[in-house]
Amino acid sequence: MSKLTHIDEQGQAKMVDVGRKDVTQRMATARGAVFMEAATLELIVAGQMNKGDVFTVAQLAGIMGAKKTSDLIPLCHPLPVNHIDVVCTADPEAQAIQIEASVRVGGKTGVEMEALTAVSVAALTIYDMAKAVDRAMRIGDIRLVYKAGGKSGEYRAPEIDS
């Protein structure tokens, strides 16, 4: 097991010093889902939610969340991201909205937390927009599925085909 980079010799939390790292192209993709009643998903797909277009608002919220990651996660570095893509897709078979977020940066540290935050904020936004009709919705399966760049190189989640 690797040494935890955000803990010092005394066991205290610390921000990693990335000052001497090289700037490289880095990318991360995360996925998650919001599970719901079939009728709720049908309303969302039909654009019949009182709060508006759930897909568009969740996409924008995910983008905003990724940009605010360092304000939310105490030891994350603020990053000038180059690109954020958030896609929300209806999955009738799973009775869910699947969320995928990809983030790219030319920087000294990775963007895994930005991708994970984008998915999380998009999922919370979907819940907020549909809770009036389905309070039993469940947010889950949020995970990193891919990262590239930096010293540790490429990571692909074992169960992910693409």
Q: Which residues are catalytic?
A: 128
| Residue corresponding to tokens 């074992």 | 158
Number of H helices and E strands in the chain, helices first, is 4, 5
What is the full DSSP assignment across 65-101?
A: HHHTHHHHSTTPPP---SEEEEEEEEETTTTEEEEEE
> How far apart (Å, rounded) are the C-alpha atoms in residues 120 and 103?
14
Residue 4: name the closest of 111, 17, 13 by CA. Answer: 13
Strand partners, 16: none
DSSP-derived pairing of the beta strands 96-107 and 24-35:
antiparallel
* 136 DSSP 8-state letter: T
